[in-house]
Chain A
């Protein structure tokens, strides 16, 4: 079973700017440009896998109140053997937060996630500025292992920050009338129509707004997560 590894990201400042390509309704949150400081952090190299998540359940006894779609790809409380090292999906942002909290971690903020993916040089994709999609899992048919595509790691060595599965970030926005979260990185899946939410290879500086409604609605087959731990100096 793949074990999580972390990398240290020292404190750094950068000019954060995020864009998006979403359908109607647009995105009501701060997108920069603004100067921000991130770190120091320890960041997971991999998205949390099915194997890691099962261990979390066993160790924590975590049980969500609303189980709709919760780990719906598992059977009898366990994933298929071949899925052990694939990122866990069909979990909500709250499920992901519970995991992170149990291990003294949290989800990365958008600013942290973007810096971890793009590094100080503002790379367009984790591996560089070129559109070399052979370095990631996009336009594929299924999720790959969390440690696949070592040739596509980010400047900090994080795996699969583009494609494979979307990743939750820590924020939840509320404008008084709606709550929404933002996803990062894209996924292997691309829906068929112009009006569908986009998938595939999403650049480091782009996010996808997703309105939240309920745990069941908000557990996706294509969204996973990784964690960070704040380093106290």
Chain B
């Protein structure tokens, strides 16, 4: 509903929000969460622009307001014009008549000096947004920070081109219930300043209160109205968890994830312990051949390898002109020997990934030719898919060539695919990282796209760090890659660590439907210092698993945690000790740096 009151204010309202606009002053006069009478925000400028050596605010502009609606939306448009600077800004407040209002800023620059000039934008609404005293804020660039100052929710790989997975700004009350979610929707994933008209990606780098207060983001207007920034605002009543679910839903709407539903590719979902076999070491190659029996027998200590990636090229490639395909020809016994090893692994229920080295190709080799070699190697060896090394994308023809061979051939990359299309058909990747103290830490992609199986790996971690690596896998409820021979440096796991992994595999498989459910939420609020919690489950399911990590050297006793639903029953399934249920709360002890998983049966009647 949009109406004009007797004071000339425009009021936009839906079931979660009320936004009051003062068109004469060019200001937002109020922003209220309608689920709670306690949460409202006062006035602020619509925008500030730093241009031509001066800062202008929305009230400096000539303002005209229009209202329109259709079957779905209603829209209030503020046309702001500053003739002296030849700049116009169109601000559209689009009400979905349900629970969300999108404020879309479109800046048009008619080039006062004949060419583009530098402009920066500040959106006071972001800075001023509050949900009452002691309100909690989850910044898009750093939702939760640990005691060392590190971001706990790790963003997708960032480089010149990156991911379109963007976290919201969430502002909610001290109980983490009522407040606001501000999403920054954009399909653009470029993050270099100047490349795109839409600066939402840059707004999502805001990771602290200081950055929020002082954000001045460079904008790139042209002489037409195009999207400059968009704030998709919702009044929320279930805090961070609700906001995260909303942003996940928004992101997924743009993706065709049907490849993940392919039954023939689903075997990867049950691969918990995945081995990387460097064939120049005796862990996997001995007596002139791939020693499958020894490799898999050693793997029993980890609970058994479910997949093995064989690796026989890098870092030897390049001494002469032999390419990666010829390395299989020259392999002792040739491709037939690789096929024999694959067959032996298949007999023991183990899947095999082949290595693909994307950078090892001549300058004139086409994707067609490479994909032919790619497919032929699978035919020759009967392997189950490819580990694509450093790639974050691959031409779809590679997928098509595999599908022509047979069903069930899986593509896996070393890093998460970044671009939209590769994400849609590369159905598994490593969650690889390089930090030596990776806890507490969550891989955001694991929670945005839970059907994308992403085993955890950090190749150079030494003994103590490997324990942390295992805890990271447990905390994020992820499979793991066992990589002990890192291109010639032997870095084995200890017996205790192998037992940890064996235990984790057992727990994971026992509860696989919950861990791989469609509704995982990272970093549920615990209200306990240094205690972190992830939630795993299915939307509408009757069970949920909460994964806790105590990031301190002190035991925490009688920790109380408020669940999202009533609790019928709870039990510790990973870690030591007991837990108790009381209404919506559970209580438990957790040891220093312990990961504990608690299975909760929801009390659906409460």
Bound-state Cα–Cα, A172 to B314, Å:
20
Total chain B interface residues with beta-carbon distance under 8 A? 33
B487: which of A23, A192, A213, A217 is its contact (CB, 8 Å)?
Answer: A23
A213: which of B280, B314, B360, B363 is its contact (CB, 8 Å)?
Answer: B280
Could you jot down 29 A-B contacts, CB within 8 Å?
A23-B314, A24-B486, A25-B487, A25-B488, A26-B488, A26-B489, A166-B319, A176-B282, A177-B281, A177-B485, A178-B280, A178-B282, A178-B488, A178-B490, A180-B488, A189-B319, A191-B319, A193-B360, A195-B314, A196-B318, A196-B360, A197-B317, A197-B319, A210-B319, A213-B279, A217-B327, A217-B332, A222-B319, A222-B320
Bound-state Cα–Cα, A175 to B283, Å:
13
* Interface of A toward B, CB cutoff 8 Å: 22-26, 28, 68-69, 166, 175-178, 180, 183, 187, 189, 191-199, 208-214, 216-217, 220-223
Can you name the residue of chain A whose Cβ is closest to the Cβ of B485? A177
Residues of A near B316 (CB, < 8 A) are 197, 210-211
Measured between C-beta atoms, what is the minimum distance from A181 to chain B in Å?
A: 11
Closest 10 CB pairs of A and B: A196-B318, A25-B487, A191-B318, A211-B280, A25-B488, A197-B318, A221-B320, A23-B315, A214-B332, A193-B359
A194: which of B288, B330, B359, B488 is its contact (CB, 8 Å)?
Answer: B359
Bound-state Cα–Cα, A166 to B316, Å:
14
**Which B351-404 residues have a C-beta within 8 angstroms of A?**
357, 359-360, 362-363
Measured between C-beta atoms, what is the minimum distance from A178 to chain B in Å?
A: 5
Question: A195 and B319 in contact (CB under 8 A), knowing A26-B488, A214-B288, A217-B332?
Answer: no
B322→A221 contact, CB < 8 A: yes
Q: Does B260 contact A (CB under 8 A)?
A: no
Additional 17 contacts, C-beta under 8 A, given A211-B316, A213-B285: A178-B280, A183-B319, A187-B319, A191-B317, A191-B321, A196-B360, A197-B317, A197-B319, A209-B488, A210-B316, A212-B280, A213-B312, A214-B332, A216-B330, A221-B321, A221-B322, A222-B319
Measured between C-beta atoms, what is the minimum distance from A175 to chain B in Å?
A: 7
Bound-state Cα–Cα, A216 to B326, Å:
11
Bound-state Cα–Cα, A68 to B281, Å:
21
Measured between C-beta atoms, what is the minimum distance from B492 to chain A in Å?
A: 9
B281→A178 contact, CB < 8 A: yes
Q: Does B331 contact A (CB under 8 A)?
A: yes
Residues of A near B312 (CB, < 8 A) are 213
Residues of A near B320 (CB, < 8 A) are 189, 220-223
A195→B279 contact, CB < 8 A: no
B280→A192 contact, CB < 8 A: no
Can you name the residue of chain B whose Cβ is closest to the Cβ of A166? B319
B317→A68 contact, CB < 8 A: no
Measured between C-beta atoms, what is the minimum distance from A143 to chain B in Å?
A: 11
Q: Which of A183, A195, A199, A220 has the most CB of B within 10 A?
A: A195
Bound-state Cα–Cα, A210 to B288, Å:
17
Residues of B near A25 (CB, < 8 A) are 315, 486-489
Bound-state Cα–Cα, A152 to B363, Å:
32
